[in-house]
A and B are shown apart, each in its own frame.
Chain A
């Protein structure tokens, strides 16, 4: 999906700084006529990815940044959230739905992103999550 032109916003490493970009992205998503369930999915994936970037990637270091890239049209929404941490291996994160992990606070955000988005991958040594949501039903 390299043939799209991304918008890029760089924010400081705190959750509050990501609110304005989130409202901007969701505003574009709603203007493109996506249904409420899809808006729910995109909001959830965005907030989970930002939380992971701020807390786990950048480890709450206020000197670091989070880079948000996004693309919205009537057929798909693409979000790429990059942190400035050391990266991680998604396959090493425990499955939060296993009985022994149900009460552990790890892996739920990653699982929700995978569940709600159409396609997800981790780039740049795990410092960037790239995720895409296709419009449900026939494309316009």
Chain B
């Protein structure tokens, strides 16, 4: 079986968070606080820590198994299969949400005359092809895009600093801790818990036991990048950041050098689309692996096309418009992810531990 290195796992996890993080995170955080928005992104570490804790338990109790296999092993064929289907639904809804965010962004930013569902179909065709080629190919594409990002992102960051105003962050801590905590809910419980999708890749990891540490590293890197991004966005845009769907796009649009260099938002849009395809591929990999576990087949390739098709259709069926997506992420996703990505695995591990408990073995030995 193809295996991926720790470096590839960390990159995949970083893009899983940053895919939509660089698109909507500053605007989401600014819904609750603008002066102290720079603190909101650091709450991602909380979600990353919770995900790392679940991964730590997983690789010790179920080494070499995916999350869906672990759930089935813990609860048996019937309840286990029902919970595995619940996990499949979670992955499907998550992918549909990201897919809709992507097609809406492309339609707004670059292709206003193209139907959104056609943009989505093109994106999911790329995702299906990547996933069909396997996890190793997805990992390598993640590696390939890294040098491009390392050149483009710092360049855009430095060029936009010209309009940066520190006054947007003053006074510090003026409204107390509550708005800061509220601004950190989505980074912590929506983005931070997305790291749990990596549990579906465990059989394909070269060193599964280091997965918790890899999740912590990925969450620290993502948190740092997002904090810088939020600081720059709020510093450049100021208070209007609250009312923008894509504030980072506006920051990039503001960049002008002389009379010739402007409209660098095209570069940003291309980067966002590439990263979103990688994010969708990573979660789609997990979904296909979950479907494989539910059906008990030896391969997951048969699930790639039908799952991509279902996710594409669901992204337009589940959400009427981008406002619906935003409302879902703000008011449902934190609770939904907390139960599905943290409580459900923890209950499964507890059930598995109770089944294997030492006093039960002793009693069986006496008999």
Chains A and B form a bound pair: no
